[in-house]
Amino acid sequence: MVVGAGIVGLAHAVAAVERGMSVTVVERDDHAVGASVRNFGHACITAQTGEALRFAEHARGTWLRLGEQAGFGVAECGTVVAARSGEETAALEELAELRGPDQVRLLTADETTSTAAVSAEGLHGGALLPRDLRVDQRRAAAAIAAWLTEQPGVRVLWGTPVLSVEDGLVRTGRGPLHGDHVVVCAGHDLDRIIPDAAEADGIRRCVLQMLQLRAAGLKLGPALLTGTSMLRYPALAGTEGARALRERWSEQRPELLAASVNHMLTQLPDGDLVVGDTHTYARTPEPWSSEELDELLLAETRALLGRDDLAVVRRWQGVYASADGEFLRTRVSPGVTAVAVTSGIGMTTAFGLAPTVVESLA
Ligand SMILES: Cc1cc2nc3c(=O)[nH]c(=O)nc-3n(C[C@H](O)[C@H](O)[C@H](O)COP(=O)(O)OP(=O)(O)OC[C@H]3O[C@@H](n4cnc5c(N)ncnc54)[C@H](O)[C@@H]3O)c2cc1C
């Protein structure tokens, strides 16, 4: 039994069915509308470290295979990281030194503008991370769920809220369900089902503001990261360059640090840009979006692309589970395991994490 049909739950169902198990996925909504469809669709592989990097590398292969089998877009377009200061260039050089040219290709300013539609204004250079992927996040979860239901021994129950779980038993609003093992993948709502496991791991909700922008004729190609991303993704955040950048920004750009901005862009198949993000953390967040933060993202995007003609098509908030560690894996009882990606990298890592959890059940 898997609770939740977001990408983490679906990854567990895929891993289980590939190991010959029968699986029931139980989802409260009619289709996935959580973090797994609200994100950038960015498999940010190269900028991870440690266990997350191993999961991400494994997940890369699964995304490519599932994209083919389930019929949704997975682009091997890589990521461009734009450097607009000496510190950012230094951070990219350190990463290139560490990882080598197969994973990190340094770009001149001219190469950066021609690879990722970035404005030349104030640009020092950049790097291409060719192993990263861009997944069609608006279609992936639904397509994987549909593909799963075609596999022997799998069913996905939509519109079925889970009220509680215990060994061998899932109580739902539609009655009880029975199975040998229950894996709870309810994302940030883990605390609604197993509050003690969420609390023990210090889970909070991280709320992100996001924009969908229309920029006529713009062809982005790769995902696009900026200096703000260098302060977040561990392989870059650990560099001397990123440390120096944070120090300077604490004086010069405190608004970026206060909102934990990770200014990044991906392009949807229809050409619109997904732009974000800002981060606020709370166990129970306040419900308001901040116009000031949206304006900050817009201003940063206009400057990055050198375009004044960006139209806002949609605004939304995304929420994910956040804790000090990157992954929560708690055996709540012999037959119940709680799993969450607790660092905003579920699209990158879920398909690497899930096989390890499913194998530990066997
Ligand atoms: C704005 C934003 C941008 C992001 N960008 C990226 C990115 O580019 N790359 C990346 O790697 N990661 C990114 N992430 C993180 C990534 O999206 C998440 O880590 C991942 O989607 C979490 O998947 P999930 O399945 O745990 O959660 P969700 O997608 O939220 O799914 C949880 C599911 O559980 C269901 N559920 C909850 N409670 C119950 C219940 N009681 N009964 C039945 N069903 C229940 C929910 O309805 C939901 O469908 C981003 C996240 C956000 C919010």
What's the 3-state SS for 212-239? EEECCCCCCCCEEECHHHHCCCHHHHCC
C-alpha 15/C-alpha 351 separation (Å) is 8
Residue 291 lies in a domain: yes
Residue 250 lies in a domain: no
Pairing of strands 336-343, 182-184: parallel
Q: How far is the CA of 264 from the centre of ligand 1 (A)?
A: 19
Burial (0-12, 13-18, 19+ Cβ within 10 Å), 292: exposed
Q: How far is the CA of 138 from the centre of ligand 1 (A)?
A: 12
Is the distance from the beta carbon of residue 4 to the nearest atom of ligand 1 less than 6 Å? yes
Residue 115 lies in a domain: no
Asked whether 9 and 2 are in contact (CB, 8 A), the reply is: yes
Residue 243 lies in a domain: no
Residue of the CA atom closest to atom 31 of ligand 1: 6
pLDDT, position 210: 98
Low-confidence residues of the chain, pLDDT below 70? Answer: none
Asked whether 207 and 188 are in contact (CB, 8 A), the reply is: no
pLDDT, position 120: 96
pLDDT, position 362: 74
Is the distance from the beta carbon of residue 355 to the nearest atom of ligand 1 less than 6 Å? no
Residue 337 lies in a domain: yes
Domain range for residue 349?
Answer: 2-78+131-226+263-361
Task: Answer positive or negative: Cα dihedral of 96, 116, 48, 15.
Answer: negative
Q: What is the pLDDT of residues 244-284, one digit of tens each?
A: 999 999 999 999 999 999 999 999 999 999 999 999 999 99
- Which atom from ligand 1 is nearest to the alpha carbon of 162? 42
pLDDT, position 205: 98
Q: What is the pLDDT of residues 41-81, one digit of tens each?
A: 999 999 999 999 999 999 999 999 999 999 999 999 999 99
CATH number, residue 309: 3.50.50.60
Residue 240 lies in a domain: no
Residue 257 lies in a domain: no
Number of domains present in the structure of the chain: 1
- Which atom from ligand 1 is nearest to the alpha carbon of 340? 26
